[in-house]
Structure 1
């Protein structure tokens, strides 16, 4: 009989509550769960439903999967949700009848989905975004002309949240369909910076297919089309495209193009404070993380540069969790390549602590954990547990 994924959940809630330096009463207030319920859950005398699990995880600022004994439970919820997302977008031009919240309420719901995406909280996304997409498609049809551009912008951001789940889960066909919907909605926003953000996401299609040179061409065209204004949002939009172009040029083995785009990104990054612009983090720290990514992408002869960039530096805590965990995943690969397996494992553990779902679903994590397991056959039980957690083979 498979183990109950909620077995021992009270102990884990108590552990993460102490890590967060919250009392039981503070956790109850933050999660809107009765104090007596929190006490019973932590003592193991009461079960935990999905609603309470997600409320407590929200209050603790962690992914719900971190509280489950069987992380496969969270992954199965994501896999089961993919057809639901597919169904939600299949009738975008002929949505079902249903309620439509006010524009401020819709904006608040989409902002929440964006926060979940940046924090790599995919379980939250799949629990809410499919219905939200259907509601947004209804709103697009019913909206007066003066609101249509705003709703189109919300459609782009909601599709991007859903795409984050699809892409990380390896559902590349679904990801491509979501990106096509973003490209359909972006001209209706009347905002060229939204189109720039869609070009940034569109590059996933080329990463997935391994058509890196073509992806680079698309990004360079988007850079040429992006507004060249001096205000921070336009600067960040161009800078993000240069960062993305640098990485895909690295994957293509084009070092000259990669470093040219990095140089442009660095110049633009120095002009803005680190922040999230149109759903994408950009600024000096993000550029530095992408410098590490480019060095790892280029491989031999460049990996030492990744280690140099990471020496005595760590991504600031206010960066999005997905980006911070990505830094440690890239760093782990560089450390493994230069013969530092212990350091690589430590980096993977840091990535997991920051964003467990993102780390677990990352192909490089599974590959590197499997390599570490082969290199250190007699290693501690923690390495075996980590490899099993991320399904490394």
Structure 2
């Protein structure tokens, strides 16, 4: 009979969850898919067998379920993304951590947005951001980052509603927190900092349907300042620029932006709704015999089969 294998500790589970968050941010989704089921099962068992005040078990559970929700939401499985985010948020209350609670709520907001539940997403994001801001201190960079991330996603929501002034106001609130943080970082896997605020200014302009503003905002983005490993953040600027160029029917430039995004994070392009729409739009107006690079990209992204 084989010896029983001891259950992993909550601390070791948190280390695995951290690795998966990093793989997710590097847009290595296939790798996360392979490794996530085991982590979820172990996190479930750890929380089930823990005492009510076992903070480490609750932390490992939240961190596992947040990365699960990120992956499911990215892959378009919105209902399961919402379920896993809700479970993370419920367990976050056992951690007595503003950072962890804010991180979990951020993921609930993301899942709600993917399901087009914009009203609920906005209410939750702004309420949590307002709750956290009075508690923010410069010596707690993780809390600064989570609060800033909530303002960033709130700005995207405002832009989706075509509320330009409100989107800019929320971006400015995030900017103030980025200045308090003082550098680009990745606390609580937020990728928050001055550069991510600048990236969101591009995304907000794209959400507002303003290609000129998106192109102008992109000029202020210095991707070299981002910490290593944030491939999906690096890709996002080029995805937004591809949209902006496609709106101006500058398809060669848009294709180059998509190729840049693919170079940074190929899986992020394949699973990005906007990127696939831009590719379809350009394919529809491309001349026969031209656009071989675009057609090859479309095949790799799963738009052409």
Q: What is the TM-score when the length of structure 1 is the normalising length? A: 0.71
Quick check: 154-163 or 358-367, which moved more?
Answer: 154-163
1:123 to 30, 36, 41: 30
- Note if contact 1:152-1:186 (Cα within 8 Å) is conserved in structure 2: yes
Which residue of the other structure, out of 277, 288, 291, is the alignment partner of 1:380?
A: 291
CA contact (8 A) 2:195 2:222 kept: no
Counterpart Cα distance in 2 of 1:173 and 1:263: 32
1:107–1:312 CA distance, 2 compared to 1 (3 A): closer
Matched with 2:235 is 325
- Match in the other structure for 2:82: 176
Which residue does the alignment assign to 1:248?
A: 157
Q: What is the match of residue 265 of structure 2?
A: 355
Distance in 2 separating the partners of 1:238 and 1:105: 27
Query: Per the alignment, do residues 312 and 298 of structure 1 end up closer, same or farther by CA in structure 2, a change over 3 Å counting?
Result: closer
1:278 aligns with 2:188: yes
Are 2:302 and 1:391 aligned? yes
State the 1:266 CA deviation: 1.0
Distance 1:251 1:188 in 2: 34
1:144 Cα deviation from its structure 2 partner: 4.9
CA distance in 1 between partners of 2:59 and 2:198 (Å): 29
Alignment deviations for residues 361-388 of structure 1 (CA, whole Å, 9 cap, x no partner): 1111111111111222232322111112
Unaligned runs of 5+ in 1: 1-96
Residue in 2 aligned with 1:75?
none
Aligned counterparts of 2:188 and 2:227: Cα–Cα separation in 1: 17
TM-score using structure 2 length: 0.90
Matched ranges for 1:198-237 at <5 A: 198-226=104-132, 227-231=135-139, 232-237=141-146
> Is contact 1:149–1:189 with CA below 8 Å preserved after alignment?
yes
Corresponding position: 1:345 with 2:255? yes
Contact 1:99-1:135 within 8 A present in 2 as well = no
Larger relative contact order (C-alpha < 8 A, sep ≥ 6)?
2
Choose the corresponding residue for 1:162, options 64, 68, 71.
68
Note the C-alpha offset of 1:210: 2.2
- The structure having more radius of gyration, on CA atoms, is 1
Give distance in 1, aligned partners of 2:66 and 2:240.
23
Q: Contact 1:157 / 1:279 at 8 angstroms: preserved in 2? A: no
Q: How many residues in Structure 1 have an aligned counterpart in Structure 2?
A: 294
2:217 aligns to what?
Answer: 309
Instruction: Work out the CA distance in 2 between the residues paired with 1:105 and 1:200.
Output: 24
Distance in 1 of aligned mates of 2:291 and 2:163: 40
Aligned with 1:285: secondary structure?
A: helix
* 2:93 match: secondary structure: helix
Where does residue 78 of structure 1 map in the other structure?
none
User: 1-side partners of 2:233 and 2:58: how far apart?
Assistant: 26
Shift of 1:312: 6.9
For 1:141 and 1:198, locate their aligned partners in 2 and report how far apart those are by CA, in whole Å. 19
Q: Cα gap change, 1:304/1:258 in structure 2, threshold over 3 Å: closer, same or farther?
A: same
